[in-house]
Amino acid sequence: MARERLTEARVRKLKPVAGKQTDTWDLEVPGFGVRVSTRSKSYVISTRSPAGGYASRVVIGDADATSLADARKLAREMKAAVREGRDPLQERELRRQANVRQSADTFQGLVAGYLVAMGDGGLKPRSLREYQRVLLGPDFQPWRGLPAAAITPGMVADVIAAISRRAPSMGARSRAYLSALFGWAADEQKVPASPVPPKRPARGKARRKGGRRGRERTLTAEEIRDVWAATASGSNFAMVTRLLLLTGQRRSEIGDMTDAELAADGATWTIPGERTKNGRAHTVPLSAPARAIVENALMVARLTGEPGRSPRYLFGTRGKRGFGGWSASKARLDAAIGKMREKDGRQPMPHWTLHDLRRTVATLMSEELRVRSEIVEAILNHVSGHQGGVAGVYNRSKYLAEKTEALSAWGAFVLGVAEGKPARENVVQLRA
């Protein structure tokens, strides 16, 4: 094992011996040296870890890109850290992770992560290149190094206005791309909320108490058709998504559905109080399309799950647990819808969440099917003046027939929309 006082000139002259890797150690800083192989020349350090063992000889710099003085300085700092009981390798890894996180937290890093997620979801390379061209193009160049969470609605409005003045269609496209990007980032909790303001709602919309508007996103007939078409695979997530649209229940309630919650005749699904938001057991009549999905999921769960397991989850892994992987599955669904729209020459679908399906059910059931508000609330398991107190217990039982009729009509409405029929042709007249 060669030891000598290293100099810059000596480091440059070091060559591998007989094609083998060799280490030359420095007399000035014990445990510090140069490793030379046929492929590289690196500064390395070997030092005892705080736990008492020996760390592997760790590369601390490329000898062709790092000066000897800088490498010695780093070696001394690492050895001093060990004497103080710290782990320099762990500290270096934490710094590396911090730098990665800092880079990922920028607008440019956010775009990169989004493109990877959309690529994994199946979005065509041409579409990915278009997203990259727009979001990392000259209009957004000043944002690249900014923390993504620092992008404000005002900044979005300014840049979209500037683009629109030059090319209105490009302004609309840029806004749609930004909305999709930050919608995904908000779902993944990479930013607190999307800075892309929603499109201005129509006049006369009711406000929440205190004057703040609630989220008002409901899907159009075209968007419902796209969601239905993109969930034809029969995967667990596809079935869950269709049930969200057919029943209006919460995603956790459907994702954690078990066979024990289904009636023997398969006509209803009762969610126990410990799984509902208001703590009250909730019976959901299953329309024909919803029942078909549940029966299929139950059959698959029984065939693939552990024999004799009870209760058995319908949409989880081998019946052992409920559905997981919401964000990744939603990203793949968004990518599939994006591919369909691209193929048809349509604009990307504006950002939407799975919870918007619940709002869509309530809104269209009321507006298109003219279902009474107390029936809609009963279907959603909302507690209001219609359902509070002792009367609520009576009403929940009384409303079962009305809920069954309304959800049956809603199922027919959704299937009609999915088949491309105008919404008005899908309306089923309910009993007065």
Q: Residue 122 belongs to a domain with what CATH number?
A: 1.10.150.130
Label residues 192-224 b or e (16+ Cβ within 10 Å = b).
eebbbeeeeeeeeeeeeeeeeeeeebbbebebb
* Domain total of the chain: 3
Asked if residue 211 is part of any domain, the answer here is: no
Residues 140 and 264 in one domain: no
Q: Looking at the structure, do residues 235 and 271 belong to the same domain, yes or no?
A: yes
Quick check: is 213 in a domain?
no
* The pLDDT value given to residue 163: 92
Identify whether residues 328 and 383 lie together within a single domain.
Answer: yes
Q: Which amino acid is at 112?
A: A
Tell whether 146 is covered by a domain: yes
DSSP SS3 for 281: coil
Same domain, 8 and 46: yes
Residue 62 φ then ψ, to 5°: -75, 125
One-character DSSP codes across 85-122: T--HHHHHHHHHHHHHHHHHTBHHHHHHHHHHHHHHTT
Do 295 and 152 reside in the same domain of the chain? no
Tell me, yes or no, whether 35 and 47 share the same domain: yes
- The answer on 138 and 93 residing in a single domain is no
Q: What average pLDDT does the chain have? A: 82
Do residues 291 and 226 both lie within one domain?
Answer: yes
Query: Which of 55, 86, 101 corresponds to the end of one domain?
Result: 101
Residues 11 and 115 in one domain: no
Residue 268 φ/ψ, nearest 5 degrees: -135, 160
The H or E element spanning position 23 is strand 22-26
23 within a domain of the structure (yes/no): yes
Same domain, 231 and 289: yes
- Spatial distance between the Cα atoms of 3 and 118, rounded to a whole number of angstroms: 53
Q: What domain range includes position 63?
A: 2-101
232 and 160 belong to one structural domain: no
Q: Is 295 among the domain residues?
A: yes
Q: Which residues of the chain have pLDDT under 70?
A: 1, 48-56, 88-104, 120-123, 199-215, 305-309, 317-319, 383-398, 422-432
What whole-number distance in Å separates Cα of residue 206 and Cα of residue 321?
40
Residue 399 has a pLDDT of: 80
Using DSSP, state whether 267 is helix, strand or coil. Answer: coil
Please indicate, yes or no, whether residues 401 and 333 belong to a single structural domain of this protein. Answer: yes
